[in-house]
Structure 1
Amino acid sequence: MKRQFAIFLLLLLFSLSLFSKPIEDKDIYASVVNWTDQVILSNVKETIPKIVFDEDDPEFSGKNTATSQGKAHSLARKKAKEKLKVRLSQRLESIYFNADYTLYEYTQVNQQARLRLNSYIGAEKEEYDFQFVKNVLEAKASLSIKGKDGILAHLPMEYGTERVPEFSEEMIPVEFSGLVVDARHLTLKRALFPKIQTDRGLDVYSPLYVKDAYAIETGYIVYRDNQNGKAYETKVGKNPYFVLALSTAGKNQTDLVIPTDEAAKFLSHPETRKNITRCRVLILVSQ
């Protein structure tokens, strides 16, 4: 009986790990950055205007009223969209860009980034979902981080200007499909462009090493809380190199430090270095 219970418990824990929640950061309006699925989400509830179609009614054409159900729904959707656009914009600008800046701070020192971000926000790339429940409109909106309509595709960024470092240590080269850095024991801030460096200060993962097409299409980085599921393998392949982070780094504590000898092992093979340029990197963090 005890053995059966133990097996049941293991299966339960395994199933829970498979269906773990995505890594999210929320603001005061409960707008969310989902770092696992790489999307920004927000939601609002809007009261549907009262329908008054009688011209003799004192409320006819008054504030927060409409003359038909279609008009009432249209007004509610318009108000909800205006609120959602503001909330998504605020959440977007508060994201950490890298170890030095939030996205808003970065646009203050980079005029091109400011213009591109304003253009992106004005281009209405949001996706909306509206559900009418009794006299309330439940509205949701999302902005993608990756993809051709995502945030990364519309931010000016210097990609791929440097080569992934090679180490001179003599060892048998081993090919790895990607890199997984475990930072679940650390207090790490999530960012669009975190760097990974060695304990000697050498960057081993940086926007300067990656190809822009991969960063935009798959995301420069993905955060998860486990190593299960198809999405994990899609990002880092079947045979990634696993390393435990030593500490966080940078002003915003978004970067990670790993041992130099681990970096040397990981980067010993040319195909592995190619996989770094393809953004096949994932960071494990705690919920």
Structure 2
Amino acid sequence: MLKKVLFFILISISLPILSLKNDLIVQDFFNTIINWSGHYIYIKVNETLPRVVVDVEDPDYGKEHTNFNVTEARNKSLRKAKERTLIHIVRTIENLYLDEDYTILKKVHEDESFRERFNQFLLDEPQNLKSKYVNNQVIVESKITFTGKEGLLNYLSVDYGVEEFPEFMKIPKPSSYTGLILDARHLDAKPALLPKIITDHGLEIYSSFLVDKNFAIAHGMASFQKEPKLAMKDSNKVGINPYYVVALNSTGKNNTVFTIPTDDAIKILATEQTRKNLKKCKVIILLKQ
């Protein structure tokens, strides 16, 4: 319990301007933090400064793990911390779930055009590295975004908006909704950059093929969150009248495809206005932390 409290304090201090109350946050094998609500990766690396030795009679004088002055020690530790930070960032990105079948790394290996765009991201991506010295350590922090012009999504070779929503039978007095909240907290589902929603008959009602490219890149296809009450209040993402539905199951190799009842899909897609809102990626997916 103490570790969880300390971890929360660390995040709160490191990211003071962001509200993390309902954010779905995952800490990976490399101790990198992935915020699937805010669409970013955050990493903090500590590197201890090498010992400063100026006494020629000291047995460690002139050895590789020592330095002759504080400035040299700081510069060396800063270089090492930056190198570690960038390595961890790349490894974290490579292990992100792209969709139901691929991680970023697997897609890079199998798709040449995808690989070219991803490599360009690694070249262009602003490192946003911040460093500070505390006692005998240098601390390097970095934040990599998924969304926006400089975000990861803008560099992925993805076919957006190439299909139309499926047509269902007309229903009397259909209602329009400002967005969609899909509750999958009871499932062992996973967040992905390109999640998909299908009906229990296998029809896609939400995927990269159905959304507007500009909105997907600017805002992400879905905000993954934890609490339904807070999600309902997130008018910036799903407006003031979102449709709430509970997922039947999650499928796909990566468990990132969500199934909902056909009856709900019919209501969701019954009006042109709701379809427009889905095209604008006004979707929240609730997952267990």
TM range, normalised to the smaller chain? Answer: 0.7 to 0.9
| Equivalent residue, structure 2, for 1:132 | 133
- How far has the Cα of 1:125 moved from its partner? 2.3
CA distance 1:231–1:70, shift in 2 (3 Å) = farther
| Equivalent residue, structure 1, for 2:21 | 20
1:279 aligns with 2:272: no
TM-score, with normalisation over the residues of structure 1? 0.87
| Equivalent residue, structure 1, for 2:51 | 50
- How far has the Cα of 1:50 moved from its partner? 2.5
| Equivalent residue, structure 1, for 2:155 | 154
What SS does structure 2 have at the residue aligned with 1:252?
coil
Larger deviation, residues 28-37 vs 235-244:
28-37
Paired residues of 2:233 and 2:240 also in contact (CA < 8 A): no
CA distance in 2, matches of 1:229, 1:60: 59
Name the aligned partner's letter for residue 260 of structure 1. T
| Equivalent residue, structure 1, for 2:78 | 77
| Equivalent residue, structure 1, for 2:261 | 259
TM-score, with normalisation over the residues of structure 2? 0.87
- How far has the Cα of 1:171 moved from its partner? 2.3
| Equivalent residue, structure 2, for 1:171 | 172
CA distance in 1, matches of 2:71, 2:232: 43
- How far has the Cα of 1:190 moved from its partner? 1.3
What SS does structure 2 have at the residue aligned with 1:37?
coil
Name the aligned partner's letter for residue 242 of structure 2. P
| Equivalent residue, structure 1, for 2:123 | 122
CA distance 1:59–1:124, shift in 2 (3 Å) = farther
CA distance in 2, matches of 1:49, 1:124: 30
CA distance 1:243–1:229, shift in 2 (3 Å) = closer
CA distance in 2, matches of 1:210, 1:232: 20
CA distance in 1, matches of 2:147, 2:48: 33
Paired residues of 1:32 and 1:91 also in contact (CA < 8 A): no
1:37 aligns with 2:48: no
Paired residues of 1:172 and 1:268 also in contact (CA < 8 A): no
CA RMSD of aligned residues (A): 2.1
Larger deviation, residues 201-210 vs 52-61:
52-61
CA distance in 1, matches of 2:96, 2:20: 26
CA distance in 2, matches of 1:57, 1:122: 44
1:211 aligns with 2:212: yes
1:244 aligns with 2:246: yes
- How far has the Cα of 1:53 moved from its partner? 5.2
Larger deviation, residues 277-286 vs 167-176:
167-176
CA distance in 2, matches of 1:43, 1:165: 45
Name the aligned partner's letter for residue 185 of structure 1. H
- How far has the Cα of 1:21 moved from its partner? 5.1
- How far has the Cα of 1:230 moved from its partner? 9.5
- How far has the Cα of 1:165 moved from its partner? 2.3
What SS does structure 1 have at the residue aligned with 2:38?
coil
Spell out, residue by residue over 1:227-279, the C-alpha distance to the aligned partner (whole angstroms, 9 max, x if none).
42798221111111111111112122111000101011111110110111111
| Equivalent residue, structure 2, for 1:15 | none
Spell out, residue by residue over 1:30-85, the C-alpha distance to the aligned partner (whole angstroms, 9 max, x if none).
11211011111222210112334567876555323334333322221111110111
| Equivalent residue, structure 2, for 1:192 | 193
| Equivalent residue, structure 2, for 1:270 | 272
CA distance in 2, matches of 1:203, 1:235: 21
| Equivalent residue, structure 1, for 2:108 | 107
CA distance in 2, matches of 1:87, 1:105: 17
Name the aligned partner's letter for residue 102 of structure 2. Y
What SS does structure 1 have at the residue aligned with 2:209?
helix
